[in-house]
Chain A
Amino acid sequence: MRDLTLAMRHRSDVLTTVFFFIIVVSLFPLGVGPEAQLLKEMAAGVVWVAALLASMLSLTRLFADDYHDGTLEQLLLVPQPLSLIVLGKVLAHWIISGLPLVLMSPLLGLQFGLEGDALLMLMLTLLIGTPVLSLLGAIGAALTLGLRGGGVLVSLLVLPLYIPVLIFGAGAVTANAMGMGAEGHLSLMGAILLLALVLAPWASAAALRISVE
C-alpha cells in the first residue's frame, strides 16, 4: 500500500525506531552489571517496555503527515469505509515499526542470557502484542491530531492503555521461564488483539472525523 512506499522514501524514520529500541534495551545490561540471574529475570520486562516506547515514538507521525498536506481530507471523502482505511494505515505502521522489533528481539534477548525456549516465547508475545500497540496508538494519534504538543499528550493517553499488554506480554515470558506454561497469558493477549482489531479502527475513524473538522 501507499504508506509502505512512503516509508521506504523516509527510510531514516524507520531506522530511528529500531535503533531506539536496540539502544534502550542494550543500555540495561550495561547499567545493571553482568549478573546473569538478575538480567535473565529482567529481560522480558525491559524488552517490552522498550518496545512500548519505540512504538510510541513513531505514533504521532501516523496521521500527522496526511493531516498537514490535506491527504486526510481526501481519505475521508473516499467511497470506502474510513475504518478500513485506518486499518490499512495501522497495518502499514505495524509492518514499519512493529515487525522489525519482533525480528530483532531474539538478538536482544541474547544479551540478557535468555535461552532458546524463552527467546521464542519473547518473540511470540511481541508478535501478538505489537499489533495491539499500533491499534491502540492509532486512537491516541487520531484524537490528538492537530493539537500543539500532541506528542506528549499521545503518550499520556495511550501508555495507560498499553499496561494490560505489557503485563501479559512480559508475564508470559516469565511464566514460561518458571515452567508454569504461558498459555493463559497468550490467550488473553490474543483476546486483547482481537478486541483491539475490531474496536480500534472504528474508534480511530470517529476520532479522525472530529479532528479534521
Chain B
Amino acid sequence: MENGLLEVRALACVRGDRQLFSDLSFSLQAGALLHVHGPNGSGKTTLLRAIAGLVLQERGEILWNGTSSGKEKDAFNRELLYLGHHYGLKLELTGYENLKVFANLSGAEISEHEVEAALRRFGLAHCVELPVKVLSQGQKRRVALARLLLQSSKLWILDEPFVALDAAAVELLLEVIKTHVANGGMVILTTHQAVAVEVGSVQHLHLGQ
C-alpha cells in the first residue's frame, strides 16, 4: 500500500501504577511530521515505544493503513525505523559491520558502497574501520542515525535524536528529516533541544498537561 497512514485511537498507557496518558488520538499522513512535547516523565518515550509495538498499550488501537499494527506485525515493521535512547549498536563491531547487520535483518540488499556513503554523509569516513566502542557518544549516535539513509522505511520514530550531536550534525539530521518528509515519509520525534523542526506540515502533541 502506497499511501502510508498512521492512526492512533483512544490510546492509553500505564507504567507501573501510573496512568501516563489516556484517550490519546491523532493521525499522521504521509509527508507529515509529529513533534511530541512534554516534560520529563510525561510519557513521550512510552508513547513512541507503544507506537513501535515495544510496549503494550492498556487500551486503544494503533492502525497502520487501516489495519491494526499488532496484527500485521511484519508488514508494519518493514515500514518502521525506531531509534531509541539506546543506540542498538554492538560495541565490538565496526560502524560498517553494525549497519550491515541491520540491513541484513531488515531484508534490504545494500552494497558496501552505499553503507560507506551513508557513514561518510554523517562525517564518519575516517572511522569506518574502527570498532564502535572507541567512538565518542556523538559519533555513536551518528552511526545509528546513518541507518536512516540506508533503510527505505516510511515511518521514522526518533526518540531524542539530537542528543549528543554537535551543531553541524544537528543541521545534517534536520536536512535528512526534511528530505524524508518531502519524499512522502513520516516522522515522529521528541526532543528537548530548541531545534527548529520546520518541514512540510508539522503537528504538535503536548503530553503531561
Contact = CB atoms under 8 A, between A and B. Distances in A.
B166 interface: no
Which size bracket describes the interface of B in this complex? Answer: 20 to 34
Given A70-B84, A80-B74, A213-B54, A75 B90 contact: no
Interface stretch (B91-99, B119-127, B189-197, B200-208): B91-99
A148 interface: no
Contacts, number: 63
A71 B82 CA distance: 11
A1 to B, nearest CB: 9
A30 interface: no
A73 B90 contact: no
> Is chain B's interface secondary structure helix, strand, loop, or mixed overall?
loop
Interface string B45-71: 000000011111000000000000000
A212 B88 CA distance: 13
Interface stretch (B20-28, B35-43, B102-110, B170-178): B102-110
Given A5-B97, A80-B74, A212 B89 contact: no
Interface string A185-213: 00000000000000000000000000011
B33 interface: no
Contacts of B91: 69
B106 A78 contact: yes
Contacts of B80: 77
A76 B54 contact: yes
A134 B84 CA distance: 30
A92 to B, nearest CB: 13
B96 to A, nearest CB: 12
B93 A6 contact: yes
B82 A5 contact: no
B10 interface: no
Which size bracket describes the interface of A in this complex? Answer: 20 to 34
A213 B14 CA distance: 11
A5 B74 contact: no
Contacts of A10: 92
Most B C-beta atoms less than 10 A away, residue of A6, A9, A68, A70: A70
B120 to A, nearest CB: 23
Nearest to B147: A74
Most B C-beta atoms less than 10 A away, residue of A6, A78, A213: A78
Contact of A6 (B56, B75, B90): B90
A73 B82 contact: yes
B90 A70 contact: no
A80 B87 contact: no
B54 A75 contact: no
A103 B188 CA distance: 51
B77 A5 contact: no
Contacts of B52: 77
A79 interface: yes
A70 B106 contact: no
A71 B77 contact: no
Contacts of B97: 5
19 contacts: A2-B90, A2-B93, A69-B86, A69-B88, A70-B85, A70-B89, A71-B88, A71-B89, A77-B52, A77-B54, A77-B77, A78-B77, A78-B105, A79-B74, A80-B107, A85-B105, A212-B54, A213-B54, A213-B56
Interface of B: 52-56, 74-75, 77-78, 80, 82, 84-93, 97, 101-102, 105-107
Given A9-B92, A73-B84, A79-B74, 11 more contacts: A6-B90, A10-B92, A69-B86, A73-B54, A73-B86, A76-B53, A78-B105, A79-B75, A79-B78, A212-B54, A213-B54
